[in-house]
Chain A
Amino acid sequence: MSDLITLSLLETIAGLEKKDFSKAELNQAYLERISELNPKLNVYLEVAKKSDEIPAAIKDLISVKGMKMTCGSKILENYAPPYNATVIERLIRNGVSFLGKTNLDEFAMGSSGENSAYGATKNPWNQGKVTGGSSSGSAAAVAADMCVFALGTDTGGSIRQPAALCGVVGLKPSYGRVSRYGAQAMASSLDQIGPITKTVADARKVLEWISGVDEFDSNVVKTPFKPTELPKDLKGVKVGVPKEYFAQGLEAQVEKVVRAALKELEELGAELVEISLPYTEYAVAVYYILMSSEVSSNLGRYDGIRFGSGRANFGAEAKRRVMLGTFALSSGYFDDYFIKAAKVRTLIKQDFDQAFRECDVIVGPVSPTVAWNLGEKIDDPLTMYLSDIYTIPASLAGIPALSVPCGFSSGLPVGLQILGKYLDEDTILNVGEIYEQATNWRKEKPEL
């Protein structure tokens, strides 16, 4: 029965319907896999005592009643949320149960998984490498077949980047597509919950389950997500290739792999169009002002009164961002930093509005490099921040973005990023799935 764990979500659902295996066998297979690999990879912070439906993994900053929620922080070491997040309620309604809570950078702040108070998650492809972050455990869980699918959150790339570095599919839905009720707020004008899955079709299915209006998150848009039928090929699809995403800093081998993927899209019928997103170079700076400002406000709740221990227990990165944000919002600096950044955010958004007049999707790398060595960037926050250069612009513009495996460099996975118009997850998922079916990188598995 060991093959069970390699099945995608849709294959698992089909197998259960045909009674090829039972839910008990399915959960048993995953629990065995977890007990075998978790000591080695540090993927789960808590494994559920009971899981008897379709087994999923949940990033440990999304509330699941009956399980602890640490947010990767020492502050919340003993916190147990007394309610379910909206996404959890919706998954339960669709026959999903939870194998456990996955590791992450503290309060979702990090690009490597190393900021967790509970130790870094190891990359299943090479255990000396980082998984990416902040949804480190969720991406590794899917890559190592330790769950059918996982939920992560993405504020500046935290779903897409670990998905890319671990060789799985990750979808950041449009801002306002999925309710965040019950997820720890990091930067509320950017945060989104989304799926990390074995296939693109799985990501579509999970998005269908979790999206839609919720009275507990007033930012959710009324337009429902409605997938259309998958086209045969990419004829008529205009793929924008932003020159700024192939500039200095992009590893040569990663560029080669991504260019080969572009060629493949062309062979599948797509038309490649060169586009420009001129304000890309300011995205990281804008993001670090706005995100930190929102973080400093959202993390104000950790005063040790209603939950958790005191503020002395914040890790180094959390402290750094709270201070940066407090500074950017402080009297005398608010106009120079926060307001200016919010204006440049408009320019970045306009870049995309302009580009989407010439193309249907925008394609480029997710990360300028493959997974790096554990410890390599941890003492240099700025270098770490710059590793998110290709994921941050879409977050600032609020548009949907998909990461799909597109090959390997030195034995480590590379992700292809597909960006879409606001609320047009349908097109990026279709492009991603057609590419995935033509290439089948997803059949490659790490040796564990």
Chain B
Amino acid sequence: MKLTKDQVKKVASLANLPVTEQEEELYSKQLSEILDYIDKIEDAAATKEVKPTFNVSMNTNITRPDKVSINLTQEEALSNGSSKGGQFVTRGVFENE
């Protein structure tokens, strides 16, 4: 399948990725080529009805004891972002609406 420049723009916005017009052009070409190749799974999927595999370890509902252990301090948790008064600083949610 082909991915048009407009579709690339839409996907980029869903993924919160800033892309230039030039990139839209390039990704439209490259992603279309990749999707053309990927479309071959159609043939395989049609051969047999099977259940999807999401995880091969087969582990389900793994729990651990609910006890407090040594973890990151507030200072450590904040050490890689900008913070103020012990909290992360973020952009306002509604500013860009």
Contacts and interface: CB of A to CB of B under 8 A. Distances in A.
B45 A344 contact: yes
A80 B78 CA distance: 11
Given A306-B88, A381-B30, A341 B14 contact: no
Contacts of B81: 305-307
B80 A308 contact: yes
Contacts of A397: 56
A349 B48 CA distance: 14
A136 to B, nearest CB: 22
Interface string B49-75: 011111111010010100000001000
Interface residues of A, number: 57
Interface string A32-60: 00000000000000000000000000000
Contacts of B55: 189, 219
Nearest to A218: B62
Given A215-B64, A288-B34, A343-B52, A320 B27 contact: yes
Given A289-B41, A305-B90, A322-B15, A345 B80 contact: no
Interface stretch (A17-25, A120-128, A311-319, A403-411): A311-319
A340 B90 CA distance: 38
Contact of A319 (B27, B51, B52, B88): B27
Contacts of B88: 305-306
Contacts of B34: 288, 320, 324, 381-382, 385
Given A176-B57, A314-B17, A323 B38 contact: no
A4 B47 CA distance: 56
A279 interface: yes
Contacts of A327: 3, 7, 11, 31
Contacts of B47: 347
Interface in B10-37: 11-12, 14-19, 23, 27, 30-31, 33-35, 37
Interface string A275-294: 00001011011101100000
The main secondary structure of chain A at its interface with chain B is helix
The main secondary structure of chain B at its interface with chain A is loop
A344 B38 CA distance: 12
Contacts of B59: 176, 218-221
A83 B53 CA distance: 33
A279 B88 CA distance: 48
Nearest to B73: A82
Contact of B80 (A221, A303, A306, A346): A306
A343 B56 contact: no
B40 interface: yes
A79 B80 contact: yes
A288 B81 CA distance: 32
A439 interface: no
A189 B30 CA distance: 25
Given A323-B31, A342-B53, A347-B50, 8 more contacts: A176-B56, A300-B16, A306-B80, A312-B18, A323-B12, A340-B42, A345-B52, A347-B44
24 contacts: A78-B80, A79-B80, A80-B79, A83-B76, A215-B64, A282-B44, A285-B37, A285-B38, A288-B38, A296-B15, A303-B16, A305-B81, A312-B18, A319-B19, A320-B27, A320-B34, A323-B27, A326-B14, A330-B11, A330-B14, A343-B51, A349-B56, A382-B34, A398-B57
Interface of A: 78-80, 82-83, 175-176, 189, 215, 218-221, 279, 281-282, 284-286, 288-289, 296, 300, 303, 305-308, 311-312, 314, 319-320, 322-324, 326-327, 330, 337, 339-347, 349-350, 381-382, 385, 397-398, 422
